[in-house]
């Protein structure tokens, strides 16, 4: 793990519109599943992967998130404040680059998580990372390992690990909301509202977008009625791993 990322970006600034009415008064990253806030599922995974610093961006009900993460001993939390306007996934990262540093870093969505298989997925991801061949390495989930996913698939995984867009193909995999990015892909990019999808497509065109299937169970919680299935999936997965 000596070459593993020591920093991470956690995307936590979204409005959580589909999670209303819960998110009328609570930011989505603080919604609890199986007794733990969604944000903490991700931060705990980062801590287990020896990440030293996590940048968490905030916009909606930001003070609640700031207060929540202040109680965590590890990783060190740096807040990236987007109260003046949402910057989307890539824009939020670009704003946070000074805190993330010049080395590859993890990126996590704050509203999805997973229960690891025998080996933690972020450690597996770090072991597979190769800066010479890759600009982006994404964690992916098979449909049969996913709970709460209502859409199609995102990427097709080639034998050499490279990714192409799946356009919902049944043989495709779902982006699991986690990955490793090299900051060079944002060189010279101004802070502006931009999606990571632009950078995924650029990396595909350059043959530098790679993926790795996760080991274990992937869980996404988009609406209030998704909480109970998510908690059931956690119970099943933890029952299997004990």
What 3-state DSSP class applies to 178?
strand
- Per-residue pLDDT tens over the stretch 167-223: 889 899 999 999 999 999 999 999 999 999 999 999 999 999 999 999 999 999 989
Sign for the CA dihedral angle at 39, 73, 77, 24 comes to positive
Average pLDDT over every residue of 137-149 = 94
CA 165 to chain centroid, in Å, comes to 18
Residue spans per domain, the chain: 7-241
CATH superfamily of 7-241: Spore Coat Polysaccharide Biosynthesis Protein SpsA; Chain A (3.90.550.10)
- Per-residue pLDDT tens over the stretch 9-20: 999 999 999 999
Instruction: Count other C-beta atoms under 10 Å from residue 3's C-beta.
Output: 12
- The pTM for the full model equals 0.94
What 3-state DSSP class applies to 57?
strand
- Per-residue pLDDT tens over the stretch 34-89: 999 999 999 999 999 999 999 999 999 999 999 999 989 999 999 999 999 899 99
Residue with token string 């008064």: 25
């Amino acid at each position: 793990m000596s070459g593993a990322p020591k920093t991470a970006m956690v995307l936590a600034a979204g409005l959580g519109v589909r999670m209303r009415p819960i998110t009328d008064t609570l930011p989505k990253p603080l919604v609890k599943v199986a007794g733990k806030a969604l944000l903490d599922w991700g931060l705990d995974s980062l801590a287990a992967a020896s990440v030293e610093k996590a940048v968490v961006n905030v916009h909606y009900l930001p003070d609640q998130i700031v207060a929540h993460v202040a109680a965590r001993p590890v990783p060190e939390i740096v807040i990236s404040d987007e109260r003046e306007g949402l910057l989307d996934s890539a824009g939020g990262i670009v704003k946070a680059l000074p805190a993330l540093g010049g080395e590859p870093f993890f990126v996590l969505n704050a509203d999805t998580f997973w229960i690891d298989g025998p080996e933690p997925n972020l450690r597996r991801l770090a072991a597979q990372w190769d800066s010479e061949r890759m600009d982006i390495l994404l964690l992916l989930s098979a449909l049969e390992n996913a709970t709460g996913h209502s859409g199609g698939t995102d990427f097709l995984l080639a034998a050499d690990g490279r990714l192409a867009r799946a356009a919902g193909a049944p043989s495709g995999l779902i982006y699991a909301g986690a990955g490793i990015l090299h900051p060079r892909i944002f060189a010279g990019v101004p802070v502006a509202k931009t999606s990571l999808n632009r950078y995924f497509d650029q990396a595909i065109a350059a043959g530098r977008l790679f993926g790795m299937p996760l080991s274990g169970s992937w869980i996404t919680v988009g609406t209030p009625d998704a909480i109970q299935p998510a908690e059931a999936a956690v119970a099943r997965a933890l029952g299997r791993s004990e």
